[in-house]
Amino acid sequence: MPTTRPRHQITETDDIGEAIDAGLREWPELSRSDVMRELILKGAESLKLSAAERALAVELALKELASLDIRYPKDYLEDLRTDWDRYA
């Protein structure tokens, strides 16, 4: 198809092929070329997050982890460490 826009060529290496295959599982109705386009657009979209937005996302994830009610049994660490001398 004629165009005045730049065209790009990419070799389908093993890792690129795996990415395309993953894209095909997500968008089975698309061709491999269309999946490459979607992957490029989704990748660019993810890069648009500013450093502040990424930091906020990490902070929110850490707060969520901190709010989990995880309780270990009494003497958990001592029991865990009993085998450490074996590997020293």
Helix (H) or strand (E) holding 39: helix 32-47
Residue 83: DSSP 8-state: T
Average pLDDT over every residue of 78-88: 80
Q: Are 20 and 36 in contact (CB under 8 A)?
A: yes
- The pLDDT value recorded for residue 82 is 86
- Distance between CA 14 and CA 38 in Å, rounded? 19
Whole-prediction pTM value? 0.55
How many other C-beta atoms lie within 10 A of the C-beta of residue 16?
Answer: 13
pLDDT tens digit string along 14-72? 999 999 999 999 999 999 999 999 999 999 888 888 888 888 989 999 999 999 988 88
